[in-house]
Amino acid sequence: AFCSSFIYMFALAVLQALASNTFIAAVYEHAVILPDTADEPVSPDDALALMNSNMDVLEGAIKEAAQQGARIIVTPEDGIYGWRFTRETIYPYLEDIPDPAVNWIPCTDPTRFAPAPVQERLSCMARNNSIYVVANIGDKKPCNSSDPSCPEDGRYQYNTDVVFDPEGKLVARYHKYNLFRGETQFNYPKEPEAITFETPFGKFGIFTCFDILFHEPAVVLVSELQVDTVLFPTAWMNVLPFLTAVEFHSAWAMGMGVNLLSANTHNISFAMTGELHLGKRKLSSKYWIQKQAGMFYKQ
């Protein structure tokens, strides 16, 4: 059984991307519903039940953001199942995420690949609300002895960001390259990925949490690939004096001269708070919305 009380917060802002283009973006801070234990494996059905509990909350945030006029919403790293897993216990939560080049809309063609109920539901959230949805889930890729780097259990496991467009099509997939200490449930990609995609309102890049402290892919996306806006799912622990979320993310966005849509998890026990969207370009019309125990508050 999962607790029915929850909190979610998101912020809306009008951002400028191209010289003549503005758009409304939303970022979402979620108090993740965590599994009872991350030390023992659970059944696929139990894993999906937990993920659906988190996606129930996510769906409410997406609907509200779309009603407020947002064109894109970013959700946190680990926002669908939590963190602190082992390699074995994370496995029931993983799906095989294809290359976006396959031109796939999971919402309308859910059986094209292996069962992917999480991707199907995220795709439908995007499609039903005509909004870009950015989420963080786990990818699994089988391998065998022909690959000298193949893990002993015969699979790679990746911390992965996905983006679905307003039709529900998978348009971006990013495997986190700079894993934080303790993320032993995941593998490092063989090479850093510099992932971008185009929208009618600008060019976007994406990376995850700890990536922001490194040259690849973070700096490469801006300096070489010239993105307008960076999407940044994160599970960021605020660390004084220089690594609090608002402080560091603001500094990075201003220094790089781009919009940074940062969506953090909300867990005060781990000092995980703070979500924002800002950049060197002018930001206006910000709204903060909180939902707790079924009631909305606008600040």
Please identify every residue annotated as catalytic.
Answer: 77, 176, 209
| Torsional class of 282: left (φ above 0), alpha (ψ -120 to 50), beta (otherwise) | beta
Scanning the structure block, which residue is given the tokens 């799912």? Answer: 233
Dist. CA 210–CA 120, nearest whole Å? 28
For the chain, counts of helices (H) and of strands (E): 5, 13
Kindly report the backbone phi and psi dihedral angles of residue 140, in degrees, each rounded to the nearest multiple of 5, phi listed first. Answer: -125, 135
Give all strands of the β-sheet with 72-74 in edge-to-edge order: 170-175, 155-164, 132-142, 72-74, 22-30, 7-16, 283-292, 295-298
Distances (CA, A) of 103 to 26, 177, 226, 236: 25, 24, 24, 32
Name the amino acid, one letter, at 260.
Answer: L
Dist. CA 35–CA 51, nearest whole Å? 9
